[in-house]
Amino acid sequence: MERLLKRLEEANVGLLKENELLANHTTWKIGGPAEVLVIPKDIEGLITTLQLANESKVPVFIIGRGSNLLISDEGIKGVVIKISDAIDHLEINGEEVRVGAGFSLIKLATLLSKQGLSGLEFAGGIPGSVGGAVFMNAGAHKSDISNILQKARVLYPDGTVKWYSNTEMEFSYRTSRLQRDHGICLEAIFLLQKGNREEIIAEIQKNKQYRKTTQPWDYPCCGSVFRNPLPHHAGKLIEDAGLKGYTVGGAQVSTMHANFIVNVGGAKASDVLNLIDHIKKEVYRKFQVEMETEVELVGN
C-alpha cells in the first residue's frame, strides 16, 4: 500500500487520506475507516487512481455522496474513491443536459427547474449524486432516471470507458446494469423538455415539501432501506407489522416513515443490520412477504 500511495501522490490524482472514517462521508453517519480514501480532482484523476490500484492489485470501492449505503464497522480495505464535487461539470444545450457524476441531484433538479426544463421534478429532495442516481435508477413520484437518461459514460474496474444508451443501461426498478457489471457512472446526458418555468419550480417545491413532511431528514439516514415488494409498499408492511419506533442500539425504525432507519445517536452498522434482519423476519412471519434491501451493504 505504501508503494501505491507514493504513486498516487506522484500522479497528483487528488486528495489522499489514510484510515479516514467513512462515517464522515455517509448520510447515515455510519462506517469504519477506509484504508486509503482518494478524492480525485477530476475524471482523469479517477481513472488514474483506478489504473494504479489495479496494477498494485489493491481492491477499489467507489462512493458518491454516501446515501443509500451502509458501510461495515470494520470499514473497507484497499482504496475507496469518493466521486466528489470535483467531478461536477454541467453543460446545458437546449433540452440536452450533460452533467458529471459528482453533481448533487437535488441541486441539478432545482437549477434545471429555474431554466424551465421539465423531467427531473421527481428528484426534488432525493439525496445523493447524479452518478449514484444513475447506478440505482433513482426515482420517486411515479418517475425515475430511466425516463430522462439519454446516455451514460461508464468506467469499469479494468479502466475501460464506454458510453451506453438508455436501452443498453438495462434499467428496471431501482436497478441498472452497473450494479451487475460493477460499472462507475462518470457522467450522464439527460434529455428534458421545455415547460412552464413557474409550474416546474412549483412542482419541485411540492416534492421537496412532501419529503420534509413525510420523511425523517432531521436524523441521519440513508433514504429508503427496502425495495417495495410490489404490489405492496415496504413502509406500510413494516408499519403494519408494528415496528415503527423499534430500536436496536442507536438504530431506529423511523416513527415518521417505517421504510427509513434513522441514526438516533451512535448507531453502528451492526445495529442497522440486526434491525434489518428483525424487520425481514417479522414482516415475513406476519405477511409471508420477502423483504429485499434497497440500500447497498458494503464490507463485512
How distant is the alpha carbon of residue 41 from its chain centre? 20
Question: For the chain, what's the residue count?
Answer: 300
Numbers of helices and strands, H then E, in the chain:
8, 18
176 is catalytic: no
Tell me the three state secondary structure of residue 47: helix
Q: Which of 108, 72, 114 is nearest to 91 (CA)?
A: 108
Beta strands in the chain (DSSP E): 14-21, 33-40, 60-63, 69-71, 76-82, 90-93, 96-100, 117-118, 139-140, 143-144, 149-155, 161-165, 184-191, 193-194, 247-248, 251-253, 261-263, 296-298
294 catalytic? Reply is yes
56 assigned to active site? no
d(CA 191, CA 176): 18
Q: Which of 20, 121, 187, 294 is catalytic?
A: 294
Collect all residues with Cβ–Cβ distance below 8 Å to 24 and sequence separation of at least 6: none
Cell of 30: 455510519
- Active-site residue, from 118, 174, 211, 254: 174
Q: Which of these is catalytic: 67, 104, 129, 224?
A: 224
Q: Please identify every residue annotated as catalytic.
A: 174, 224, 294
